[in-house]
Chains A and B, each alone.
Chain A
């Protein structure tokens, strides 16, 4: 697990896809690869009204990443200082082992360069003290850039609130 976490408040998310758009713009991605995804789940009836949920799916930057274990060249790496998992493009031979191995379908294929690409939490922005592009441009402030510890705290609080007040 990276020391960072992108928390999504699904009650705030309006499914505008600004996170995906800004991610692609910032990372200059061609048609095809998408680092973060909004997955529509539903619609399911809630109190007689159809409701759609938008689930934000970035890379989880696993503690023991499948992609890093599978990579035969060492191109897929976990950054020691903060646990961010990224691809060193110059070392990638394009074998797609990471794409086959990742249980969450995170590594993406860039046909133009013939290399695997993935979410690196915009590590160049992080190193400048900024937040990832998806979080920065989230129109509804549904995404929060927090530490992994804060994430569990936030989730607990929200769960307690829902128990007390009923779901939003």
Chain B
């Protein structure tokens, strides 16, 4: 445990806990767009900046998502400097995208005037990389990446690109995207992945063995099965959640007393 101070509130926090997590555990609101605890710090949106100081650290501005607490750390989450910086950051995010509802909501909350600059992008993508990271590290598909990555890397990525073959169609990218730059649309037999308003992949949906509901993609079901142990796999049936419950409850329906007139 280390002792830190957040806005003059003394706290004991576990080793390795970030300033952002510590503040959130105390109900202190620090805005973020690109942070997810399961994926660790991204440090891209910069909305979570705080002023920090402590032994060996002169008072400076740092993103709290990437600031691990240490003995004697003091942070200020709503100082005049931070509030003014956050406004500038939101202004720049607004300027660099076609603002999403989520960004506008934060802008309104912080009192930022929208449309100070003309938007450079025709989409709401902040290039925060949550989709790229979740697809790579959680799903293990690595279907999404930044343009200009790998060879011939550019300092600033232009957009997100999709590798159709690698995509399993789980939809986690669309779920985790803070600004809905990615969407999933299901029809009766097919799932489409929509990135920046354009269809970037189509995947076959599997139908529940009992009711025929198209409930997930074949590739995602296979990837989930691959994570199960052999004995778990052997009992697996392709059923939608609703039919799974009903099927089992009906198996328990043997609790009906026998139909006969032997008992009066």
Interface residues of chain A, those whose CB is within 8 Å of chain B, are 10, 37, 39, 41-42, 44-48, 51, 53, 55, 57, 64, 66, 69-70, 72-75, 90-97, 99-108, 114, 166-168
Contacts and interface: CB of A to CB of B under 8 A. Distances in A.
A155 to B, nearest CB: 11
A104 B248 contact: yes
B108 to A, nearest CB: 21
B224 to A, nearest CB: 5
Interface stretch (B42-50, B78-86, B132-140): B132-140
Contacts of A106: 241, 245
Contacts of B241: 99, 102, 105-108
A99 B244 CA distance: 10
Given A53-B255, A108-B241, A103 B263 contact: no
B257 A93 contact: no
Given A10-B255, A93-B175, A167-B258, A100 B221 contact: yes
Given A47-B260, A108-B241, A167-B263, A95 B138 contact: yes
Interface pairs A-B: 6 shortest CB-CB: A105-B244, A167-B257, A39-B249, A105-B241, A41-B253, A55-B249
Contacts, number: 134
Given A53-B256, A102-B241, 18 more contacts: A39-B249, A41-B249, A48-B261, A55-B250, A55-B255, A70-B228, A93-B172, A94-B175, A96-B216, A97-B224, A100-B216, A101-B224, A101-B228, A103-B236, A105-B240, A105-B245, A106-B245, A167-B258
A57 B259 contact: no
B116 interface: no
B109 interface: no
A104 B257 contact: no
Contact of B229 (A42, A48, A69, A100): A69
A18 B236 CA distance: 31
22 contacts: A39-B249, A42-B256, A46-B256, A46-B259, A47-B263, A48-B261, A55-B250, A55-B253, A72-B140, A90-B37, A93-B39, A96-B216, A101-B228, A102-B241, A103-B239, A104-B244, A104-B245, A105-B241, A105-B242, A105-B248, A106-B245, A167-B263
A42 B176 CA distance: 41
B37 A96 contact: no
